[in-house]
Amino acid sequence: MVFDLYKAFLFDFDGTFADTAPDLIASANYIYTKYDKPSISYEEGRAIASDGTKAFLNLRFDISQDNLEVITLEFLDYYRKNLLQKTVLFDGIYSLIDLLIKEKIKWGVATNKPREFTEKILSHYGLLNKIDILLCGDDGYPTKPAPDMLLKACQTLALDPPDIAYIGDAKRDIVAANSAKMISILACYGYLKKEDNIESWGAQRIIHSPNELSALI
């Protein structure tokens, strides 16, 4: 069996598990328009979609002049109401989860994304009641690239780090996985930037589709 070396698979969320960029970009452009800022293209927004709300706001607002606290709340409120407009799971994720469940391989998500939004998307796709562990950016642990969430996952699942594969699309994901001594897998189908030097990140494996996770060995 291909999964013999892995007892659990953990995923980053935005850009790895779910394609959330369209709704994040729409939320950003709503805020930009409200404050008379230039909109961004899909390509520009996709490149920073893994980096969270702050990355979108920093692109158009000045922390020394704009009330980013209020603008952040407005962004999140709009996103909260619209996060299921175009968000989908990446091709191959759903069948992969079915296979992991069938083979009794634990799976979960460890993400810097707030729990409220992550749970809503997982619930929409019928996966919230199937997940073995979910750790989010507002759960009280230092966020990635710190390894704390991943180490907490090991503790909760009662597994050693080398028995777990962590899949993510950003440098912070690979750094966190390597620091936790998990198997680090870079999802190149995610939200990489043109200037990313992925060869320097130290990923132990690289995939270009979730389907490749069923043929790692």
Active site residues: 12, 14
Q: Which amino acid is at 84?
A: L
CA distance 86 to 68: 26
CA distance 147 to 181: 9
Partners of 186 in beta bridges: 168, 206
Structural tokens at position 150: 């991943």
CA distance 72 to 140: 20
DSSP 155-176: HHHT--GGGEEEEESSHHHHHH
CA distance 84 to 77: 13
CA distance 9 to 165: 5
CA 144-149-150 angle, to 5 degrees, is 95
